Amino acid sequence: MKLNIVPPRAGLQWVRLGVKTFFRQPLAMSGLYFMFMAAVSVLSLVPLLGSVIALALVPAATLGLMAASREAAQGRFPMPSTLISAFRGGAARTRAMLILGAMYAAGLMLALGVASLFAPEVAPVVELPGGEVSPEMVRNMFANTGLWVAMALCLPLLLAFWHAPALVHWHGVSPLKSLFFSFLACWSNKGAMLLYAVGWAGVFMLVGLVMSLLGVVLGGAQALNLVLYPMVLFMASMFQTSIYFTFVDSFVAPDAPTTTTGEDA
């Protein structure tokens, strides 16, 4: 396995491939993502350990959704069992994935814990009628030092875990090494990753604009709420689908999934 350096424009290609692959199997991909979110919601109801277990399962769920994206990209229907692919690779890789999950939960909780120390006590702001956002709410949000500390700590954590589940499961890399290689790959392809983030931000903004116009046409916020949740689910599933392509193009190995950037997936 070796790192593959891609041009910045690959980031936009990853967005395109994610959208295209999602629409090959929209019900399957959104259904699998809904199953994951439902499981997280149920676990979060368990006192004390529920939220920690939910966080620890995120890397395994990410791998499952990447495996589903591979199935969809190859023209196959991802079955529900694809979501637990991380635990079907043998005892050694299951153990490694669980260790990776524990590291993710610990790292995220530590980052948020440190960020909470910088969060100021802000007086409650009165909301505007209709649930609109007031200027005070926006100012308080951006003046919150804890928010910026959380972003500064969570960004490297996100990059370290971005490719780690796939490296552990598909290539047998140890959890600690997978974090190093994942961060190195994201940093080496920072131009592509930046355009990838910008591309998705543009997609979400465009969809948000369309949804706002749709709300006006349908007659207001109540009518918009009927389609808001399904649209959010579809968009999140579409984003998750694209993560597979960021991994495929970032590493080259004899047993790696087929690279699709630059081709019609």
3-state DSSP assignment of residue 2: strand
pLDDT of residue 120: 67
pLDDT of residue 223: 62
Q: Between 262 and 252, where is the model more confident?
A: 252
State the pTM of this model: 0.84
Using CB atoms within 10 Å of the CB of residue 243, give its burial: 0 to 12 exposed, 13 to 18 middle, 19+ buried: buried
Six token digits for residue 160: 């370290």
Q: What angle do CA 77, 83, 88 make, to 5 degrees?
A: 105
Six token digits for residue 187: 């940093």
Tell me the CA end-to-end span of the chain in Å, nearest whole number.
22
pLDDT of residue 122: 47
B/e letters for 38-49, b = 16+ CB within 10 Å, e = fewer, are eebeebeeeeee
- Rounded to the nearest integer, the mean pLDDT of the chain is 85
Amino acid in position 12: L
Domain ranges of the chain: 2-252
The region, left, alpha or beta by phi > 0 then psi within -120 to 50, assigned to residue 39 is alpha
% of the chain beyond a pLDDT of 70:
83
pLDDT over threshold 50, residue 196:
yes
- Mean pLDDT over 146-151 rounds to 83
Amino acid in position 88: R
How many residues does this entry show for the chain?
A: 265
pLDDT of residue 47: 84
- Mean pLDDT over 180-199 rounds to 96
pLDDT of residue 202: 95
